[in-house]
Chains A and B, each alone.
Chain A
Amino acid sequence: MVDMFRVGSCAGFSGDRVDAPGPVVDTLIELGGPCAVFFETLGERTVALAQLEKRRDPERGYEPMLERLLEPILERCVKHRIPIIGNFGAANPPGAARVIAKLALRLGLPDLKIGVVYGDDVRERLDLKTHEVYEADTGLDMGGGDVVSANAYLSAQPIVDALKAGAQIVVTGRTGDPSLALAPLINHFGWQYDDWAKLAIGATAGHLLECGAQITGGYYYDPGFKDIPDPANIGFPIAEVYADGRLVITKAARTGGLVNTQVVKEQLLYEIHDPAQYITPDVILDFTQVTVQEIGVNRVEVCGVRGGPAPQKIKATVCFDGGWKGEGEISYAGPNCLARARAAAEVLLARLKLRKLAIEARVDLIGIGSVLSGDSGTQWRNYEGNEPQDIRVRLAVSARTQDDADQAAREALALYCCGPAGGGGVRWNTTQRIRTQSYLMLPSDLAPGCWVKSAAELVK
Chain B
Amino acid sequence: MMRADDTLVTVSLHSVAHGRAGDKGNRLNVSVLPYDPAAYELLAQQLSEERVLALYAHRGAISVKRYDLPMLPGFNFVIDDVLEGGVNGSLNLDGHGKSNSFILLGLEVRVPRRFVRTGNLVR
Contact = CB atoms under 8 A, between A and B. Distances in A.
A438 interface: yes
Interface residues of B, number: 49
Nearest to A372: B103
Contact of A227 (B58, B59, B67, B121): B121
Interface in A87-107: none
Contact of B91 (A141, A396, A437): A396
A394 B19 contact: no
B18 A225 contact: yes
Interface of B: 14-15, 18-20, 22-27, 29, 31, 33, 35, 58-60, 67, 69, 71-72, 74, 76, 78, 80-81, 84-89, 91-94, 98-100, 102-103, 117-123
A350 B67 CA distance: 44
Nearest to B59: A374
A269 B31 contact: yes
Contact count band on A: 35 or more
Interface stretch (A150-158, A247-255, A257-265, A441-449): A257-265
Nearest to B119: A224
A258 B122 contact: yes
Given A266-B31, A290-B72, A271 B24 contact: yes
A322 interface: yes
Contact of B67 (A219, A275, A322, A396): A275
Nearest to A362: B91
Interface stretch (A52-60, A71-79, A132-140, A336-344): A132-140
A222 B69 contact: no
A378 B74 contact: no
A189 interface: no
A251 B89 CA distance: 36
B99 A225 contact: no
B71 A433 contact: no
A266 B22 CA distance: 10
Given A140-B85, A271-B24, 15 more contacts: A140-B86, A222-B18, A224-B118, A226-B121, A260-B123, A267-B20, A275-B67, A291-B71, A364-B93, A371-B94, A378-B58, A379-B58, A433-B89, A435-B89, A438-B25
B19 to A, nearest CB: 7
B18 A226 contact: yes
Given A227-B121, A322-B88, A397-B91, A291 B67 contact: no
Interface string A366-407: 100011111110110000000000000010111000000000
Interface of A: 44-45, 136-137, 139-141, 214, 219-220, 222, 224-229, 258, 260, 262, 265-276, 287-292, 304, 322, 325, 360-362, 364, 366, 370-376, 378-379, 394, 396-398, 433-438
Contact of A269 (B24, B74, B87, B89): B74
A378 to B, nearest CB: 7
Contact of A44 (B67, B87, B89): B87
A251 B24 CA distance: 27
Closest A-B pairs by Cβ, 5 of them: A271-B22, A269-B31, A371-B94, A362-B91, A396-B91
Contacts of A287: 69
B121 A370 contact: no
B122 A225 contact: no
A271 B23 contact: yes
Contact of B72 (A136, A276, A291): A291
5 contacts: A258-B122, A262-B35, A266-B18, A274-B67, A362-B91
A224 B35 CA distance: 14
Contacts of B89: 140-141, 322, 398, 433, 435
B25 A137 contact: yes
A372 B93 CA distance: 9
A138 to B, nearest CB: 10
B24 A361 contact: no
Q: Which of B60, B87, B89 has the most CB of A within 10 A?
A: B89
Contacts of A292: 72
A371 B99 contact: yes
Contacts of B67: 273-276
